[in-house]
Amino acid sequence: MARTTGQPHRPTPASASPAPAAASAPARVREESEGGPASSGTPTPVTGPAEGGPASSGKKRKKTRGRVTVPTAQAIRDAAELLRPVVRRTPLELSSRLSNRVEQAVYLKREDIQVCRSYKVRGAYTFIAALPEEARAKGVACASAGNHAQGVAFACRKLRIHGKVFLPATTPRQKRERIADIGGRWITQVIGGEAFDDAAQAAAEYSRESGATLVPPFDDAAIVAGQGTVALEILDQLPEPPHTIVVPVGGGGLLAGVALWVKTHAPATRVIGVEPEGAPSLRAALEAGRPVSLQNVESFVDGAAVRRVGSVPFDVVRDLVDAVVTVPEGAVCTEMLDLYQTEGIIAEPAGALATAALRGYLPEVPTGPVVCIVSGGNNDVSRYADVLERSLVHEGLRHYFLVTFPQQPGALRFFLEEVLAEGEDIVLFEYVKKNSRETGPALVGIDLAAASGLERLLQRMDGSPLKIEKLAPDSAVFEFLL
């Protein structure tokens, strides 16, 4: 069973295998090649007997004609053949910044430059390509935070199948526009609800009423098989299996596919799942022993803001994944900025989850090469102001205060000259009561040169005659005012 603590757990199939020795960076990564245009014929369904290796559970594997009903390593291999002429074989790139951070070679699996700029196209195409002609004629439907919808749109246009996508209202504008561009006349969008699960309910109702096939974003064996092709490529691109593969988690489809392939072909490699702290649906499922619904979901990491992890992925993850960790949204924002400023990668929040885990959130220090999956790059540029804000607050470089100034001359000057010191800058100053400034406090935002300067600032505030209240980032007042 996967654990959510710092103590690692070795899955049964790997327990007899020796742990990999600490290794330096492999000398090279095999050259990549992009897939060409899709073939004109109908893609081959994902079928075939299970390949040797661990199963997702002790139950007997079942198959139906043309469809996969239980994830297997063989299904992943079949999906890879299906996808070869359709999607890109994304590169595996060495990150000097992250390698220096963990003192091991760290490679980035660049699914952010995949077709549709996300790994999601792998699972969507694998699922839709296996539909019989009768189902294709009735069309497909899906619910998505954006990336799955783009994958469905791509598959619909390639296979000439009509589809309708349901998206939560929090989906960034950039993703909505991309869906329209990718799908063209083959796709219709329906936007509503605050979270993925609201969109999922609407999509399910439409599917029941219209007869359209519902394309799940993660809770299906064929989807898991398609996503698992990421791991197939990783192991093929490195001369030796890595010590650790770090995988972002939303509904669990990518993590399940990666774990299934890796534990079959490189069982000593550790597989770590990473969730946003505000949407730990997999961690909740592991603690409960089954998928459960979260009461509240923080939607900032929209590509992973899932209220309930999938049942099919959970059955795989529970048995094969070594650990699951959570990362604060602020740390994700800091990593997004570092990816852009250092590696030149424009990652969406979910795309930065895996690399953000290297900022001290892994259960143990890696003793060999690490691969982090950069799962998507569909980020709306207009969000970067919010990304920067969250990063500064998380790093302790930006703080907010309610300051009540006495009604006497020179009160503001005293605050500027006696309370603030060099390197402490006001970035926000506004009165809370717009129509009664004389009696209300002012909301003041202050940037520090270093997080360590906060203690000295608070001491000067306590020693001043002003009434000053620091707003905690997790307080209701902070969220209301900012």
For 225, the token pair is 């098989």
Across the beta sheet with 163-167, the strand order is 187-191, 163-167, 140-143, 213-214
Across the beta sheet with 398-404, the strand order is 425-431, 442-447, 398-404, 467-471
d(CA 350, CA 374) in angstroms, rounded, equals 8
For 25, the token pair is 């960076």
Q: DSSP character for 437?
A: T
| Residues forming beta bridges with residue 400, ordered by sequence position | 445, 471
Is 467 an annotated catalytic residue? no
Is 375 an annotated catalytic residue? yes
For 229, the token pair is 């092709």
Helices 311-320, 221-237: axis angle to 10 degrees equals 40
3-state secondary structure of 165: strand
Catalytic residue among 120, 158, 164, 175: 120
Catalytic residue among 56, 207, 299, 375: 375
The HSE-up count of residue 4 (CA atoms within 13 Å, CB side) is: 17
Burial 431-468 (b: 16+ CB within 10 A, else e): eeeeeeeeeebbbbbbebeeeebbeebeeebeeeebeb
Question: CB–CB of 339/110 below 8 Å?
Answer: no
Which residues, 6+ apart, have CB-to-CB distance to 28 below 8 Å? 239
Token pair 């590509």 is at which residue?
A: 303
For 465, the token pair is 């005659």
User: Residue 470 carries which side chain, given as an amino acid letter?
Assistant: K
Question: CB–CB of 223/73 below 8 Å?
Answer: no
Kindly report the number of other CB atoms within 10 A of residue 473's CB atom.
15
Catalytic center residues = 120, 375
